[in-house]
Amino acid sequence: MALLEKSFKEISPVDVGIIYEGERLRWKETHVELGGIRCDKKFEVVKARNMDEIEDEKTIVVGKDIGELEPENTYRFGILVEVAGAQVEEELEGVFERRIHDFTNWINGVMHLNQRYDVVIRIGKKTFKEGFTKFQYWGDVLCKLFKEELPIIEKMQVTFITDPDKVEEMYAKALEIYEARDARARGLRDEEVGEFYACTLCQSFAPTHVCVVTPSRISLCGAISWFDARAAARIDPEGANFPIEKGELLDDVVGEYSGVNEIVKKRSMGETERVYLHSIFDYPHTSCGCFEAIAFYIPEVDGIGIVNRDFKGKTPNGLTFAELSSQVGGGAQVNGFVGMAIEYIRSYKFLEKEGGLDRVVWMPQFVKDRVMDALDGMTEKIATEEDVETLEDLENFLRNANHPVVERWVEEEIPAEAAEVEVGGMVAPSLTPTIEAGTITLPGGTLLPGIGGGVKIVLKGAKIYAEKVIIRKMEKGK
Ligand code: SF4
């Protein structure tokens, strides 16, 4: 009997349904982890094939099956989904590929995060105990859901790879496929198209998040280009990808369009009213949780850092990717931070408001290698973890490299009479704090008791809003 005629109960030992999308599995609840940050090679890829090239509803396992994998461990992993049908084209591969994420998440006790070469899949202990011990179940669920939800797929074959050598071999091929897809979208400009596209696929995790995909701004997961979103909207007009009329161009430099604002406001349920497509300040694009990288402002050098998901160390400001992403994700719009795809660095509009690449001061070597050919004269001026560790190192590096950002370091003395600080909604003129005996004081009251000497805080015309403040204890001499 064909899978389409079977119920999920007949093909999987655990329940399958949209209600399980958004489930999170912690490490202690995890039987095995496939891919993820602890593992160097992982991928998922979809390829369009001719009808006679694949066997319908077939699951192939290369390497150990789920039940043969040692529990509480992480494995190199790959999924190859091959699809065929009269209307199935190469242009749809990226769109189909992104659906592996939500369809896998429909399986009770299986969690799928991220995309492409960044995937993390966890199979829960409870799910394993209930009999989810074979990739066959997962393959059948995918075949059934893909064919049900995307009826243009007539034939589908799934291959799961846990053999580490085979993963390595196929990983290299997958990277070539992603690169070829991304390259196709380069060169097309926003003004050359009549409409942009939205993606709301991540609303299961981040209910108010709306991705705006334009030729100059690939989605922040890096998996959906403007071409992909257009193809998806054509085959499934009621689905997660749909067109956005651009409307009026309100500001070309920040990338603000009336049509984008309108759709984002509507689809974020009023949470986000304005979006700057090409700035990390004021109204940056919202960030779900699938972003490949984060761009973050580093006030100490007035520059921008970029950190990717797989970077295991600390950025020069002492924060890891996970610490930064906890501030940015969930569909929030956070001033000074934005989730983005690495491919976006290549865009002719890349953070145009902030000065584009000329404002980027730090990125991991991995990211630098990925976009090396697009860095132009900035290759030697942008620091990596191999050049600097701390903010002080970074400042010295930038000075020595004659980075364009150094020109911005003009120290400006503002007369004390001109200084203003807003406190409790009132503007207090000439409010200059002083430090005495370990206490930071503003005229009229004590603000921050107990902080040691050697600190100088000058507030000039400042308004400070903070949802969270991280205070770190410094070791003596550092
Ligand atoms: S990150 Fe954006 S484009 Fe990618 S799947 Fe999520 S909503 Fe869609």
pLDDT digits 0-9 by tens, 370-417: 999 999 899 999 999 999 999 999 999 999 999 999 999 975 445 555
State the distance from the centre of ligand 1 to the C-alpha of 219, rounded, in angstroms. Answer: 6
Q: What is the spatial distance between Cα 33 and Cα 111, in angstroms, rounded to a whole number?
A: 9
Predicted local confidence at residue 187, as pLDDT: 80
Both tokens of 221, joined, read 């997961």
Residue 194 sits at φ, ψ, to 5 deg, of -85, -20
Predicted local confidence at residue 1, as pLDDT: 83
pLDDT digits 0-9 by tens, 4-13: 999 999 999 9
Any atom of ligand 1 within 6 Å of the Cβ of 206: no
Closest by CA to 246, choosing from 261, 231, 234, is 261
Q: What is the spatial distance between Cα 24 and Cα 354, in angstroms, rounded to a whole number?
A: 36
Cβ atoms of 178 and 118 within 8 Å: the answer is: no
Question: Which stretch, 175-184, 248-257, 461-470, has highest mean pLDDT?
Answer: 248-257
Q: What is the spatial distance between Cα 467 and Cα 459, in angstroms, rounded to a whole number?
A: 19
Closest by CA to 263, choosing from 279, 232, 286, 294, is 286
Both tokens of 87, joined, read 């209307």
pLDDT digits 0-9 by tens, 145-174: 999 999 999 999 999 999 999 999 999 999
Q: Where are the beta strands (DSSP E) in 49-144?
A: 58-62, 73-75, 77-84, 110-113, 120-124
Ligand 1 site-directed mutation target among 199, 241, 275, most atoms within 8 Å of CB:
199
Any atom of ligand 1 within 6 Å of the Cβ of 224: yes
Report the nearest atom of ligand 1 relative to the CA of 222: 4
Q: Per-residue DSSP letters for 259-323?
A: HHHHHHHHHTTTS----BTT-SSSSBPPB-S--SEEEEEETTTTEEEEEETT--S--TTS--HHH
State the distance from the centre of ligand 1 to the C-alpha of 48, rounded, in angstroms. Answer: 21
pTM score, whole prediction: 0.76
- Of all protein residues, the one whose alpha carbon is nearest to atom 4 of ligand 1 is 221
Report the nearest atom of ligand 1 relative to the CA of 224: 3
Q: How confident is the model at residue 455 (pLDDT cuts 50, 70, 90)?
A: very low
State the distance from the centre of ligand 1 to the C-alpha of 470, rounded, in angstroms. Answer: 29
State the distance from the centre of ligand 1 to the C-alpha of 70, rounded, in angstroms. Answer: 33
Cβ atoms of 162 and 69 within 8 Å: the answer is: yes
Query: For the residues 224-252, what does the mean pLDDT come to?
Result: 92
| Lowest mean pLDDT, pick from 107-111, 223-227, 439-443 | 439-443
Query: For the residues 33-45, what does the mean pLDDT come to?
Result: 94
Predicted local confidence at residue 21, as pLDDT: 87
User: 469 or 93, which is more confident?
Assistant: 93
Collapsing DSSP states into helix, strand and coil, what is residue 362?
strand
Any atom of ligand 1 within 6 Å of the Cβ of 210: no
Cβ atoms of 459 and 453 within 8 Å: the answer is: no
pLDDT digits 0-9 by tens, 115-136: 899 999 999 999 999 999 999 9
**Dihedral in degrees, nearest 10, Cα atoms 473, 328, 305, 350:** -170
Q: How confident is the model at residue 249 (pLDDT cuts 50, 70, 90)?
A: very high
Any atom of ligand 1 within 6 Å of the Cβ of 223: yes
Count, in order, helices (H) and strands (E) of the chain: 10, 22
Left if phi > 0, otherwise alpha if psi is -120 to 50, otherwise beta: which for 464? beta
Any atom of ligand 1 within 6 Å of the Cβ of 221: yes
Long-range Cβ pairs for the range 35-38 (8 Å, 24+): 35/74, 35/75, 35/76, 35/77, 35/118, 35/119, 35/120, 35/121, 36/74, 36/119, 36/120, 36/121, 36/122, 37/120, 37/309, 37/310, 37/312, 38/74
Report the nearest atom of ligand 1 relative to the CA of 290: 1
State the distance from the centre of ligand 1 to the C-alpha of 249, rounded, in angstroms. Answer: 24
- Of all protein residues, the one whose alpha carbon is nearest to atom 2 of ligand 1 is 211
Report the nearest atom of ligand 1 relative to the CA of 223: 4
State the distance from the centre of ligand 1 to the C-alpha of 164, rounded, in angstroms. Answer: 29
- Does the domain at 3-185 match CATH 3.30.450.20? Answer given as no
Q: In 10 A of CB 399, how many CB atoms?
A: 13
pLDDT digits 0-9 by tens, 296-335: 999 999 999 999 998 999 999 999 999 999 888 888 899 9
Q: Which helix (H) or strand (E) holds 368?
A: helix 365-371
User: 392 or 431, which is more confident?
Assistant: 392
State the distance from the centre of ligand 1 to the C-alpha of 221, rounded, in angstroms. Answer: 6
The CATH code that applies to domain 190-408 is 3.40.970.20
Q: Per-residue DSSP letters for 392-430?
A: HHHHHHHHHTT-GGGGG----PPPGGG-EEEETTEEEET
Query: For the residues 337-363, what does the mean pLDDT come to?
Result: 96
Any atom of ligand 1 within 6 Å of the Cβ of 309: no
Query: For the residues 453-467, what does the mean pLDDT come to?
Result: 53
Question: Is 238 a residue whose pLDDT tops 90?
Answer: no
- Class of residue 31 by CB neighbours under 10 A (exposed 0-12, middle 13-18, buried 19+): buried
Collapsing DSSP states into helix, strand and coil, what is residue 461?
coil
- Of all protein residues, the one whose alpha carbon is nearest to atom 6 of ligand 1 is 202
State the distance from the centre of ligand 1 to the C-alpha of 241, rounded, in angstroms. Answer: 9
Q: Which helix (H) or strand (E) holds 48?
A: strand 42-48
Amino acid in the structure at residue 438: G
Predicted local confidence at residue 444, as pLDDT: 36
State the distance from the centre of ligand 1 to the C-alpha of 342, rounded, in angstroms. Answer: 14
Write down the domain spans for the chain.
Answer: 3-185, 190-408
Any atom of ligand 1 within 6 Å of the Cβ of 107: no
